[in-house]
Structure 1
């Protein structure tokens, strides 16, 4: 049962260590809002997941560049992503 994890907050503000055990290899992760800052945090490397996506407009609004190995979608494409998974969890 795959889950989509929507990460809206920066790990610099919150300790997301307890969430890491909830992420499975087949899950999707989307960084949006201030969650985009997490692309530069060390805890991201501990995720055993390659299905990581960012909202491109949210990255641009924060002056952040999107690494080559990260997928990107527009904010308009986000609702469709919700239907690709059985569950979703918002991290805040």
Structure 2
């Protein structure tokens, strides 16, 4: 099992990296936190972010996905959303350690 300090370090690392990639690509969304689900043998990390400029989606998701894969198998899902006239792509991810 992963210690609380390690969990906090991983959460902070993910939020910092995702936000730096979003900022670098002039995206307005910022990730607040990564959620954790403690299981018997593993810990599941879950998070999501948004990309508003669809022209940025490929470069943003590619860089973030490459970073997340350093933790092993990552389940990544994206969905295009149109909400109250706003268009964006939401991306959710999760992985277990």
TM over 0.5: no
Please say which structure displays the higher CA radius of gyration.
Answer: 2
> TM-score, normalized by length of structure 2?
0.26
Bigger proportion of residues as strand: 2
